[in-house]
């Protein structure tokens, strides 16, 4: 039986490419998008490539849509093998290249954490019963090296000067969730890891990024079959939390 995979934020960029690569490996990929029109277009693009994909509606901050998606997966597939928590934002209220710790507005923090952390934790918890029915469940939390406190506190690191506080803090919180969930599930068939895709040419990464989405998706795809848990990884190399 094919692996059943859910990729959130799959209508463009990293999510789209992650869905493509996992489908090429033979999985049936459920491509979640909050925008039905864009999501349907993305799904059709991959179907035209001969891939087994399907659109699913999901605004990650909408509890009703989360419940409906969980019910859909349960009814139609009875399990979930891989969850790629890819959906995320960098709020346009955070100026690029600025340390926003002194100026970030509470609403920007709340909105960033709502998408990047709170809704992700909620969705993952709702899907755990289905992941536990898989012979080898995998949860991949798409994080960022900007969420590494080790890197952020190292002034010699080229990443340490990039300090949009709300975004970085949300990814640090996500990494903490990875550590805690991996420990909670250590005696189960589920592995939980964080992925740093790299600096990728996406709406978030910008056109000057050195990596294409094809390369950025590789870490998440490799983690879908990883035999370790509770790690923060980029292209097979572990990153300090």
DSSP conformational letter for 211 = B
Do 7 and 31 meet the contact criterion of CB atoms below 8 Å apart?
yes
Catalytic residue among 167, 177, 199, 232: 167
Residue 77 annotated to the active site: no
Helices (H), the chain: 13-24, 36-47, 63-76, 106-113, 119-131, 149-152, 165-184, 213-216, 218-223
* Longest alpha-carbon distance in the chain: 52
- Return the ∠ at Cα 84 (arms to 77 and 120), rounded to 5°: 100
Would you name the residues annotated as active-site residues?
Answer: 167
């Amino acid at each position: 039986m094919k692996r059943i995979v859910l990729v959130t934020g799959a209508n463009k960029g990293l999510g789209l490419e992650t869905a493509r690569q996992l489908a090429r490996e033979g999985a049936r990929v459920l491509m979640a998008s909050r925008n039905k029109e864009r999501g349907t277009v993305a799904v059709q693009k991959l179907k035209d490539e001969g891939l087994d994909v399907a659109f699913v509606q999901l605004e990650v901050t909408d509890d009703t849509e989360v419940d409906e998606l969980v019910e859909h997966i349960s009814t139609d597939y009875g399990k979930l093998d891989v969850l790629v928590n890819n959906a995320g934002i960098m709020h346009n209220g955070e100026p690029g290249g600025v340390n926003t710790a002194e100026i970030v507005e509470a609403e920007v923090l709340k909105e960033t954490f709502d998408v990047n952390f709170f809704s992700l934790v909620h969705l993952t918890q709702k899907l755990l019963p289905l992941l536990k029915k898989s012979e080898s469940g995998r949860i991949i939390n798409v994080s960022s090296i900007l969420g590494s406190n080790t890197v952020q506190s190292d002034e010699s690191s080229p990443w340490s000067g990039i300090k949009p506080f709300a975004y970085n803090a949300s990814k640090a919180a996500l990494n903490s969730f990875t550590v805690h969930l991996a420990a909670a599930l250590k005696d189960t068939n589920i592995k939980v890891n964080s992925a740093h895709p790299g600096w990728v040419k996406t709406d978030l990464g910008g056109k000057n990024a050195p990596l294409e989405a094809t390369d950025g998706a590789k870490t998440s795809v490799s983690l879908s079959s990883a035999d370790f848990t509770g790690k923060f990884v980029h292209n097979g190399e572990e990153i300090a939390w």
